[in-house]
Amino acid sequence: MLGSSDKPLPKGVPDCLKKRHLLNDKGLSPELCREYGEKFLALGFWEDALEFFLRGNFEPGLEKLKALAIEAGDPHIMARLGTHPQEVWRQVADHALKQRKIQFARRALELAGDKDIADELAGSSTDNSS
């Protein structure tokens, strides 16, 4: 999920330039990574939260994101979280289909190794658009 970019960031949440500076700072502590990751997660900025959780190796935050990505049917966040068993990718695809996110479901099926099903899904989505 993406946060709204038309609102100013709350106090204590870095803007994009400050975020880049922080993530490139070799002295950034795991505690600050966790803190910023949780702030971004609370705002719905999953990609930003992911960057900080990865940088700080904050497993609880990464697990929260994994659960959210499965529920949202988001294969892009899942892929950035690492490799997953076929069953997990199929869960992502199932949730994406329930939310009518056909391209997300297709991508998750491809990552599950279910190329034939992904191709069928791609064919059915183009049939519906005519």
User: Which tens digits make up the pLDDT trace of 48-82?
Assistant: 999 999 999 999 999 999 999 999 999 999 999 99
Per residue in 92-106, pLDDT (tens digit) is: 999 999 999 999 999
Closest CA to 72 of 52, 51, 101, 45: 101
Number of neighbours of residue 60 by Cβ within 10 angstroms: 11
Q: What is the pTM of this model?
A: 0.83
* 60, 41 contact by CB (below 8 A): no
102: number of Cβ within 10 Å: 16
CB 116 within 8 Å of CB 102: no
Angle at alpha carbon of residue 125, lines to 118 and 2, rounded to 5°: 80
CA 121 remoteness from chain centre: 22
Judge contact between 78 and 65, C-beta under 8 A.
no
Per-domain residue ranges of the chain: 1-72, 73-130
